[in-house]
Every structure is written in structure tokens, then in C-alpha cells.
Amino acid sequence: MGSRQQGITLLEILAACAVVAIIAALAVPAFGEVQRNARRTAQVNAMVRSLHQARSTAILRAVPVVVCKSSTGWQCTPQAPGWSSGYIVFVNTDRDSPPQVDRGEPVLHVEPRIEGLAVSANRDALTYWPVSMAGTTASIVFCDERGAAAARAIIISHTGRPRISQRDAAGKPIRCP
């Protein structure tokens, strides 16, 4: 009785490596898509949280609360090119318009610069009033390099409640800048 060697041949190793390489080549682009979706979703959710915080704080404290774009992190900057430069949530006790953070007005939240997304809105600032009304409707659009097909919009009703949509407030496809 002869002994038999057990193991794998060079040809089997090369075939296995080829299969792994093909699977990796197919998975890498899909992984990039997952990363872009996760980045967009995280930023949309952060904005929705900020809007809910502003609305509930205005109602609970009986003071106006503002969400505005801010490139500095401590003051509204309406001249900023878009909301992707960052935004803040603050209590606007003196009710100035356009809203500005004054001495004694607490900044409740600061969202830093948003990388990899273009965030635009039809308003420079949103004011939540203590009577459970936003005071103004708005749409905030989040776009990345994929364009309108992957864009998301936050549509804010007159009561201040945000909803996320793949279409604009009129039900039409979202347009990216």
C-alpha cells in the first residue's frame, strides 16, 4: 500500500485566487455606492434631528428657535453659498430678522461643514415659533456626485414637521444645483 499525498495543486490555488479577484472587482464599486448612501443618509438624519430639536425647544421653552446656515459655527452667515458650509440652531430671544446670534442667546447645536454633499435650500434660515408653527415652509436638498437620481429632500410643512422625500414639495423630480 502506497501512501498518498494530500493537498492542493498550484492550478487549484490560481483558480481560487482568480475567483476571489473577480468577486472583489465586482464588490468594490458596490461598496462605494453604499458609502455614498451612508454619508447622504447621515447628513439628512442630522438635519432632521436639528429641525426636531428646534421645533421642540421652541414649543417647550416658549421662545423662537432658528436653524440657519453658518460657516463660522457661532453666527448665521446668509451669504454662505449653501447649507453644506454648516449650520447652527440657536434661541432667538430678541426675534431679530434676519436672525443673528446676540449676546445671551444660546447656540443649541452646531453642525460643521458637510463634505462630499451639496446642500441647498429655498431659505437662508428657518424660525420655529412657540405656537408649534414653523412660520415658513422650506425644502432642503442633498445632492452628491450622482446627481438628482440619488438626491434627497427634506420638506418642512407649515407646522414645522420635516419629511424626507425623493421628490420635491410639488411631487416633481428633485433638481440638483
Q: Per residue in 58-116, pLDDT tens?
A: 999 999 999 999 999 999 999 999 999 999 999 999 999 999 999 999 999 999 999 99
Q: Is the pLDDT of residue 129 over 80?
A: yes
pTM assigned to the model: 0.82
If one counts every other C-beta atom within 10 angstroms of the C-beta of residue 58, the result is: 25
Closest CA to 134 of 121, 125, 144, 142: 125
CATH of domain 10-165: 3.55.40.10
Cβ neighbours of residue 62 closer than 8 Å, sequence gap 6 or more: 130
Using CA atoms, how far apart are residues 155 and 92, in angstroms rounded to an integer? 23
